[in-house]
Homo-oligomer: A and B are copies of this chain.
């Protein structure tokens, strides 16, 4: 049973953008009153029209909602794509009695095609007639943002602090074109906690750095990545969280974002393993992050895990070319808690035991200590198997 934060309504409908008949592809997330909005977006220079539009509208304290379509990314579509994104916010806002600038817009799907705007307009109008605040409506909205996802990716938290009880509720989508170091994919978190817009933005960026920026499937940075937080607008009787209450909320938001983010590589296209990579002993957290990313992006590491293969040299060598210092003679590696390499020397181990530990669990845990300092980081990624290749060889055709 999901607790829906007070003041938000949801809808998801089929507008015929996706080729599969009846598949939901337009969603609305609406705040009954003007609310606070924060956003973190892709750092790709090739950026989709909806991102260009949304990122200048956040942070804000007078937002009314988000309109989302799936099945078409509205990316690499030039000035016509920009006009279409503006039109989506105009139609959504008009149906909700708001102005266009009070809506954000997200799109996801194939790059380089113009939106079928007649279908989109009709879909937004239908969605605005189908808004509701119960779990079913929320799940409709979740369905409307999905593309190649195998299932819904949602998470919720209740946050209690000195001023009361609040709820956080999040959804995200994504299974491919997932690269670290940005807000990856589409994600929306709504909360009835009152937040100052600047605090909302800072808190959301902090949560993104430890969650959505630490996941990958194949490391390809999307043109459309968007993570948006909608929160209650503070009033005299419901003032913005601050001090320890704000810290406590930030902790809850971090946890929620990590829970959501891990669902993406866990559902990576064709993935049979979720790989969790812990790096410690780097000079700084940023260095540890670079090492974890280098390991996470290695196809040779990923295929070794697919095959249950204790080919640990691939992991250590990927750390060696991350572009940040490591201390080879003080480096140690554990795979699923089994020590394989220590102080620059290979350790005797039972290959069957390691192989069995990989094959026997969806989760594989890599722990690497590079022997230098206090820096640490955690990343999550998928293995790489033939299903991923088959799937991505046939995505647009």
Contact = CB atoms under 8 A, between A and B. Distances in A.
A220 B298 contact: yes
A188 B223 CA distance: 42
A393 B309 contact: yes
A353 interface: no
A362 interface: no
A10 to B, nearest CB: 29
A311 B110 contact: yes
Given A43-B321, A44-B321, A316 B76 contact: yes
A122 interface: no
Most chain B beta-carbon contacts within 10 A, residue among A112, A303, A346: A112
A341 B311 CA distance: 42
Interface string A334-359: 00000011011110000100010000
Given A308-B397, A393-B304, A396-B309, A112 B341 contact: yes
A151 interface: no
A202 to B, nearest CB: 24
A162 to B, nearest CB: 42
A77 interface: yes
A179 B304 CA distance: 17
A111 interface: yes
B314 A111 contact: yes
A118 interface: no
Interface residues of A, number: 71
Interface stretch (A30-38, A54-62, A244-252, A381-389): A381-389
Contacts of A397: 307-311, 351, 355
Interface string A72-83: 010111111000
Interface string A370-397: 0000000000000011101110111111
A313 interface: yes
Contact of A392 (B219, B223, B304, B312): B304
A140 interface: no
Contact of A312 (B112, B300, B314, B388): B112
A46 interface: yes
Contacts of A351: 396-397
Interface in A307-327: 307-314, 316-321, 325-326
A350 to B, nearest CB: 13
Contact of A177 (B46, B75, B300): B300
Interface in A173-191: 176-177, 179
Given A110-B313, A218-B300, A317-B220, A46 B328 contact: yes
A306 interface: yes
Contacts of A298: 218-220
B221 A307 contact: no
Contacts of A177: 300, 314, 317
Nearest to A303: B392
Nearest to A176: B300
Contact of A223 (B112, B313, B386): B313
A223 B317 contact: yes
A222 interface: yes
A331 to B, nearest CB: 8
B390 A313 contact: no
A318 B220 contact: yes
10 contacts: A44-B317, A45-B320, A46-B328, A114-B346, A221-B317, A299-B384, A307-B395, A309-B394, A311-B397, A385-B389
Given A46-B316, A176-B300, 13 more contacts: A45-B320, A76-B317, A113-B346, A220-B318, A221-B317, A299-B299, A299-B392, A300-B392, A307-B393, A309-B395, A311-B396, A311-B397, A384-B389
